[in-house]
Structure 1
């Protein structure tokens, strides 16, 4: 387990929410996934999260999810932690995916709040406990109410922290007060899933990030954490601010992060391929804007 200046970082500090590469025909591209995973780790990622939101988990099969874990595990070896997204709207299905990910070689699990059915907090808690009881892997809870329709309330997080295998949170709730409440009362490792909060999360005691933007710019994002941890906070702030145009275009300009990340990667000749329907590829104007913001970000001194 990695130790940071602000406590434990069970899955590392700089994690990429990795896209799932497909061939031009739309099949799973395991060779491309291995090439991309190797590049991301070589460029500063110490963890890779597979089959999350950015990994198009709603449109990949259970078999594809397991094959992806095996392929990426083989590519990165022990150079990075591999975290498998296994969350679904069905507790039994989530347990099945968790056990398969464990067999496939994952180091941990990312489990999103059950969506669509909008369970109350006692049911949310029971869901996470059942999954944590079923698998031997450490779990990161994924709190993203904007997509699931249900928050993992801070008090629920605090209760869940007593489970020995619930060790972390991917935080996309946009509630820094609630985050600080949990941080002050538990040992949970907090990872921001919102790239604009990389520095803010680290400054209040978070462990790091699980980033979509890291698919295209892993090293410059890692530099934000490195500068802060070295005590050069002014440089950290400058680096975070420099990332804003790319973050905004990739994450807040009306297109899903999966679409924008694949658009940049494809333009750069890196493994990505098409998105699966119902997602659609970015248009030419959007791609040009993304590429300009990317080039400005990565070339800045």
Structure 2
């Protein structure tokens, strides 16, 4: 099976914190040129700071810009199943390739509660649903046994693992390798190549906003049977990740690095990280080290 690269696309903002759709479209084109697919309104896309209407319009703008040149998955996950279903139905109308559903946040869920949540969403739309696990941000974790149960639903197509733990990713991969049609996508940037070697359907990466061609190269080399090339690209990707994330919170650092490279992406909505001259100088040094500026 051909592996796929997705970038968890940043959402661009104007100085007054309104959405900059044209700048976002430019980032979509940049990823298409590199050979990557798009995940919109994810963690790196500031989804938690967007209104319902903005998520719908953002998705429509991304799909219109793509015009079938790559795949588009969009995140519909919200704390309540009710609003998640409402969003998913809107995305279903727009015509995306997949709908990711981050685990509910703020509301503590049992595994039975998560199972009901995902089954309800999957029953409500025709578009394939992808589970989205990032417990460090939501405090709700999809246990591998729950993922296995959910994999039996005909409209649940896979899972995005952003837990960062190789052990958990390995358990999800067991499900993916045993259940036909259930794809596991690696979120941790340092595990892309390892995940591909162990049966992942691909990667969904935030760091690809800054290094789109390196992410694409890991995937394309692997698909071509060039393990040496994939491994070399992974080393570059992993080293850049280590250097950049040493400076602060990962999604914020991705946006800051991209902002240093291209001011049109804007800062994120408050209370997210604001430009800081001292920190930006450190970001510049990392970007120069990797010849990105």
| TM-score clears 0.5 | yes
Q: State the partner residue of 1:32.
A: 23
- What aligned pairs does 1:177-256 form with structure 2 within 5 A after superposition? 177-187=170-180, 188-251=182-245, 253-256=247-250
CA distance in 1, matches of 2:136, 2:247: 16
Following superposition, the deviation at residue 105 of structure 1 comes to 3.0
Which of 266, 269, 272 is residue 262 of structure 2 equivalent to?
269
SS in 2 for 1:271: helix
* Residue 228 (structure 1) shift: 2.2
Give the conservation status (yes or no) of the 8 Å contact 2:244–2:286.
Answer: no
Relative distance call for 1:265 and 1:217 in structure 2 (3 A) is: same
Return the offset for 1:231. 2.2
Structure 1 residue 270, shift from structure 2 partner:
5.4
1:298 Cα offset (Å): 5.3
TM-score (norm 1): 0.90
- Does 1:106 find its partner at 2:101? no
Residues 59-74 of structure 1 mapped to structure 2, 5 A cutoff: 59-74=49-64
Provide the aligned length of Structure 1 versus Structure 2.
288
Task: Encode CA deviations 1:16-74: one digit per residue, 9 max, x unaligned.
Answer: 100110111110111111111111111221x2111111111111001110111111111
Residue of structure 2 aligned with 1:172, choices 153, 162, 181: 162
Question: Unaligned regions of 5+ residues in structure 2, if any?
Answer: none
TM-score, normalization by structure 2: 0.92
Matched, 1:82 2:75: no
Q: Cα–Cα, structure 1 residues 171 and 27, in superposed 2: closer, same or farther, change >3 Å?
A: same
Could you say if the C-alpha distance between residues 177 and 81 of structure 1 is closer, same or farther in structure 2, counting changes exceeding 3 Å? closer
Distance 1:140 1:297, change over 3 A: farther
More helix by share: 2
